[in-house]
């Protein structure tokens, strides 16, 4: 059954987040030959439309308004509902990002629909769309189907392969005008605490530190390694509780669940709550001075040693590689 499916794009630091392209890819599978319409929402965002077409959107709908400068659930849901009214889609895909998580349940209520959150894969089998998602923070998975109404899902960043970028693709870009008003939550200030660039949930490489890092200062060598690899820094709860870093870096059952290509755990013992958040990474490296540490049980490669010796050497080695290639 061919369906029309909306895919919400997201912008961060002046560029489209990768998850925007992943929503297009997921929407393609859901559409089953139907049309995929990317949606751009913001103050001034039309210029991003072509990039969405290059990544496989058939068309782009743009909603611009000064009241959409900052994300608010009221503002964005008014924009999205206007798009839904105009397009009458049978499916909607958001990223499972801070924005997507906050907005999707509100829209699901407005549409009187179900919502499958945090989807890591979409497949079609025997006429059914099957959505796989982690439960128990990645300790298990479930497969879900939609039994009634709109097919509405959020997809976890970094799990669904985007389409190859192709500049020869084109399509209609249409702006619709909506009066965005009566916002009940007002953004007063955005305090930037994270580094420019890579978000933990989208990073291909994560260098994570635990209590073994011993101080805020101790995270420096980890940051340097992450930088060389174009990755992001994460942490165990042990490190966060000790005040070495911000809770927003915490990975695990009560933190972020991440699935990078490469996860380098430094001075992390490998508690079950930590493993829940990272053991579905593609390749895991553990650096720990205790050969009995639990983390080695899930690591593909392990180095038993002092992280303050190993990590800088590793950074040097990768730097050399970069120079050579």
Ligand X SMILES: Cc1cc2nc3c(=O)[nH]c(=O)nc-3n(C[C@H](O)[C@H](O)[C@H](O)COP(=O)(O)OP(=O)(O)OC[C@H]3O[C@@H](n4cnc5c(N)ncnc54)[C@H](O)[C@@H]3O)c2cc1C
Residues that bind ligand X (CB under 6 A): 210-212, 236-239, 250-255, 267-269, 271, 273-274, 277, 287-290, 293, 306-308
What DSSP state is assigned to residue 250? B
Residue 251 CB, shortest distance to ligand X, in Å, is 6
- Among residues 88 and 184, whose Cβ is nearest to other proteins? 184
Q: Is 273 annotated as a binding residue?
A: yes
CA dihedral 83, 84, 88, 94 (to 10 degrees): 100
Quick one: what does residue 59 bind among other proteins, ligand X, none, with the CB cut-off 5 to 8 Å set by partner type?
Answer: none
Which of 127, 165, 160, 152 lies closest to 32, judged by CA? 127
Contact 5, 31 (CB under 8 A): yes
Residue 191: burial class (beta carbons within 10 Å; 0-12, 13-18, 19+): exposed
Q: Is 206 annotated as a binding residue?
A: no
Looking at the DSSP bridge assignments, the partners of residue 119 are 155
- Among residues 70 and 101, whose Cβ is nearest to ligand X? 101
Q: Is 127 annotated as a binding residue?
A: no
Q: What is the DSSP string of 216-231?
A: SGGGHHHHHHHHHTT-
- Among residues 125 and 177, whose Cβ is nearest to other proteins? 125
Interstrand relation of 128-135 and 121-125 (parallel, antiparallel or unpaired): antiparallel
Token output for 193: 């605490």
- Among residues 114 and 162, whose Cβ is nearest to ligand X? 114
Quick one: what does residue 211 bind among ligand X, other proteins, none, with the CB cut-off 5 to 8 Å set by partner type?
Answer: ligand X
Is the Cα torsion angle 81, 86, 90, 95 positive or negative in sign? Answer: negative
What DSSP state is assigned to residue 121? E
What DSSP state is assigned to residue 318? H
Residue 320 CB, shortest distance to ligand X, in Å, is 23
Looking at the DSSP bridge assignments, the partners of residue 94 are 154
Quick one: what does residue 192 bind among ligand X, other proteins, none, with the CB cut-off 5 to 8 Å set by partner type?
Answer: other proteins
Quick one: what does residue 224 bind among other proteins, ligand X, none, with the CB cut-off 5 to 8 Å set by partner type?
Answer: none
Q: Is 272 annotated as a binding residue?
A: yes
Residue 63 CB, shortest distance to ligand X, in Å, is 27
Q: Is 171 annotated as a binding residue?
A: no
Q: Is 175 annotated as a binding residue?
A: no
- Among residues 82 and 116, whose Cβ is nearest to other proteins? 116
Quick one: what does residue 307 bind among ligand X, other proteins, none, with the CB cut-off 5 to 8 Å set by partner type?
Answer: ligand X
- Among residues 33 and 291, whose Cβ is nearest to other proteins? 291
Q: Is 270 annotated as a binding residue?
A: yes
Integer Cα distance of 33 and 4 in angstroms: 9
Binding site listing: 211, 236-237, 250-254, 267-274, 288
Q: Binding site for FAD, residues? A: 211, 236-237, 250-254, 267-274, 288
């Amino acid at each position: 059954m061919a369906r029309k499916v909306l895919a919400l794009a997201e912008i961060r630091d002046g560029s489209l987040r990768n998850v925007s392209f992943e929503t297009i890819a997921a929407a393609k599978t859901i559409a089953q030959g139907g049309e995929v319409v990317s949606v751009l929402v913001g103050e001034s965002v039309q210029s991003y439309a072509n990039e969405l077409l290059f990544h496989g959107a058939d068309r782009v709908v743009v909603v611009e308004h000064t009241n959409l400068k900052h994300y608010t659930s009221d503002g964005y849901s008014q924009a999205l509902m206007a798009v839904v009214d105009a397009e009458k889609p049978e499916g909607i895909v958001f990223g499972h990002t801070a924005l997507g998580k906050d907005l999707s349940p509100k829209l699901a209520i407005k549409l009187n629909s179900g919502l499958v959150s945090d989807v890591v894969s979409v497949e079609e089998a025997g006429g059914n769309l099957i959505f796989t998602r982690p439960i128990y923070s990645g300790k298990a998975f479930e497969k879900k189907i939609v039994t009634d109404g709109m097919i509405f899902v959020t997809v976890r960043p970094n799990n669904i392969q985007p389409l190859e970028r192709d500049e020869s693709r084109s399509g209609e870009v249409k702006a619709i005008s909506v009066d965005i008003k009566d916002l009940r939550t007002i953004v007063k200030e955005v305090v930037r605490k994270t580094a420019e660039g890579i978000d933990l949930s989208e990073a291909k490489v994560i260098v994570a530190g635990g209590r073994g890092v011993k101080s805020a200062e101790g995270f420096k060598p980890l940051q340097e390694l992450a930088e060389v690899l174009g990755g992001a820094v994460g942490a165990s709860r042990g490190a966060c509780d000790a005040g070495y870093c911000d809770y927003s870096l915490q990975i695990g059952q009560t933190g972020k669940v991440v699935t990078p290509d490469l996860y380098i755990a430094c001075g992390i013992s490998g508690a079950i709550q930590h493993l829940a958040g990272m053991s579905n990474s593609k390749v895991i490296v553990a650096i720990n001075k205790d050969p009995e540490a639990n983390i080695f049980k899930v690591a593909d490669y392990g180095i038993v040693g002092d992280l303050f010796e190993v990590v800088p050497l590793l950074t040097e080695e990768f730097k050399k590689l970069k120079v050579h290639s």
